[in-house]
């Protein structure tokens, strides 16, 4: 599982996140996206990477365990 933690020096930019605590990157991304949408609705486009690598540290695999095409249980019926 991919994890991320907010660097303490950027904590003021991410209300609701605890700096220095490892959490699932997907959960952090959801929180960052929700906050960005509330603040910037219509003002400017979101950056291509939601979690800025200067603001967050990462660990773990970025790969997501998903079935390959044609390998879903419903495909065998």
Residue 76 lies in a domain: no
Choice between 77 and 37, residue whose per-residue pLDDT is larger: 37
pLDDT digits (tens, 9 = 90+) for 14-26: 888 999 999 999 9
**3-state SS, residue 37:** helix
Measuring CA to CA, which residue among 21, 20, 55 is closest to residue 35? Answer: 55
Per-residue model confidence as pLDDT tens digits over 48-74: 666 778 888 888 886 655 555 555 555
In a domain, 71, yes or no: no
25, part of any domain:
yes
Specify if 74 maps to a domain: no
- Domain span at 32: 3-62
Is residue 44 in some structural domain?
yes
Give the CA count within 13 Å in the CB-facing half-sphere of 73. Answer: 0
CA distance 5 to 49: 15
Assigned domain for 75 exists: no
50 neighbors 35 (Cβ within 8 angstroms): no
In a domain, 15, yes or no: yes
Q: Nearest 5°: CA angle at 57, between 27 and 52? A: 75
In a domain, 9, yes or no: yes
- Looking at the structure of the chain, the number of domains it has is 1
């Amino acid at each position: 599982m991919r994890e991320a933690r907010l660097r303490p020096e950027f904590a003021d930019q991410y209300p609701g996140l605890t700096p220095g605590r490892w959490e699932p990157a997907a959960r952090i991304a959801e929180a960052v996206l929700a906050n960005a949408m509330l603040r910037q609705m219509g003002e400017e486009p979101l950056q291509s990477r939601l979690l800025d690598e200067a603001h967050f540290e990462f660990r773990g695999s970025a790969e997501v365990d998903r079935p390959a095409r044609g390998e879903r249980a419903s495909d065998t019926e």
